[in-house]
Structure 1
């Protein structure tokens, strides 16, 4: 019954937005302090602040609180305090009832006016109440339109990388050892990804060598695991050749400081788990796992 009520509330919420009505999104949290709701955000001021902002296009998150509540987490990609546009995005923690389907209650790119407690660094907040702004100022309309535009990254002669705003990564296919492989650049700040681009170029310049290093490390770390713990009953031990022929590279993830992750489909070597090889340009492959 609770799930049905929540679905109805979501439908009503969406209908009210389309009908141009402001919506109260206040949820009381009793004797919980802002620090308890946040958990990691440092010191909070006692003063209640009124802010306006645009909800990020990234996927929203949530986690269970310590006193029988759930915390809905959203980001404001652009926001103003006292009419002044702030330089960093703001994380908003919203305490709500447990076991509630909340991910669609505050849609991406909504323009909102919120009452919050702010931490001292002004990068995290705890929601008290709020409303959707259906007739925002012109600068918020312009910022919203800009945030919704596709974002592309060009690396030399390779295909365009496009920003996946759901998870804040640049994605693009590049030929890797005669196959089209998905490369993913993890983004902290779009203006600061020169190191990640350098890592991609280094890998591509010596593709055959890097493939061999990753394959050799996977065999060294994971083939013994396969033969010791993951054989079917009466199955013969696997050879290096069979292992390498079976697993298949799916994507290469790049992050700062020359870090990389090679993600493989396991071909049922580990019964459907992924095969992950991590490392750095300086150290080479240095970690293997079978997540999933």
Structure 2
């Protein structure tokens, strides 16, 4: 399973470098087929992406989940577990970052005249639909959202870390 942004990058030939080229073919071949997690059951290796992939529920929505296997897979899984343990708080913080970084851009540059008045922060956040979460070592994460037709189908992504919180929202794909 790939998140939409990674899939788009792969189609352009800009996607992740295959694990065999990053970590060495022998190391990637040694990764177990499945990764055990009570919080995120069904994690299966994707050696091409260098990650473990599954589908899980986040705030009642089934999404794709990617656990980075390139560095310290246990630390990356810990990142995901920390996010899942406090979904409500993280969801609010992630959406607040998306609003802070992208609402003005939408209202000034992307909004159609026939749409009427500028979107409010709440209306903007309500149009974003979470699609996937990627968790990495060192507490790093990226949340990917469908744009609710605000940015011509571009993916909205928010990057951050457990330590610093959400740092930046941007458009991709």
More helix by share: 2
Q: Counterpart in 1 of 2:24?
A: 89
Tell me what 2:85 maps to.
205
1:241 aligns with 2:131: no
Greater CA radius of gyration, 1 or 2? 1
**Structure 2 counterpart of 1:182, from 61, 64, 86:** 64
1:247: Cα distance to partner? Answer: 1.3
The CA distance in 1 between the partners of 2:106 and 2:92, in whole Å, is: 20
Unaligned runs of 5+ in 1: 1-58, 64-72, 78-87, 91-142
Any idea what the Cα deviations from partners look like across 1:50-85, whole Å, max 9, x if unmatched? Answer: xxxxxxxxx9x979xxxxxxxxx98867xxxxxxxx
For CA contacts below 8 A with separation 6 or more, give which structure has more relative contact order: 2
Within 5 Å, give how 1:80-159 maps onto structure 2.
89=24, 147=29, 151-159=33-41
SS class of match (1:155): coil
Separation in 1, partners of 2:97, 2:19:
39
| Deviation of 1:166 (Å) | 2.4
Structure 2 residue 131 is the aligned partner of structure 1 residue 196 = no
- DSSP-derived class of the 1:89 partner: helix
What residue in structure 1 maps to residue 95 of structure 2?
215
TM-score (norm 1): 0.49
1:212–1:76 Cα change, 3 Å: closer
Partner Cα distance (2:55, 2:120) in 1: 31
Number of residue-to-residue matches in the alignment: 158
Which one has the bigger strand percentage?
1
The counterpart of 1:163, out of the listed 32, 40, 45, is 45
Instruction: Choose from 152, 155, 163 the match for 1:274.
Output: 155
Q: Is 2:104 aligned against 1:224?
A: yes
How many Å apart are 1:175 and its aligned residue? 1.9
Structure 1 residue ranges (4+ consecutive) displaced by more than 4 angstroms after TM superposition: 73-77, 146-150
Deviation at 1:193, TM superposition (A): 1.3
Distance 2:129 2:20 in 1: 39
| Alpha-carbon separation, structure 2, partners of 1:282 and 1:158 | 22
- 1:233 is displaced (CA, Å) by 2.8
TM-score by length of 2: 0.79
Residues 229 and 75 of structure 1: CA distance in aligned 2, closer, same or farther (over 3 Å): closer
How big is the shift at 1:254? 0.9
Q: Aligned in 2, Cα 1:164/1:76: closer, same or farther, shift over 3 Å?
A: closer
For 2:125 and 2:93, the matched residues in 1 are separated by 12
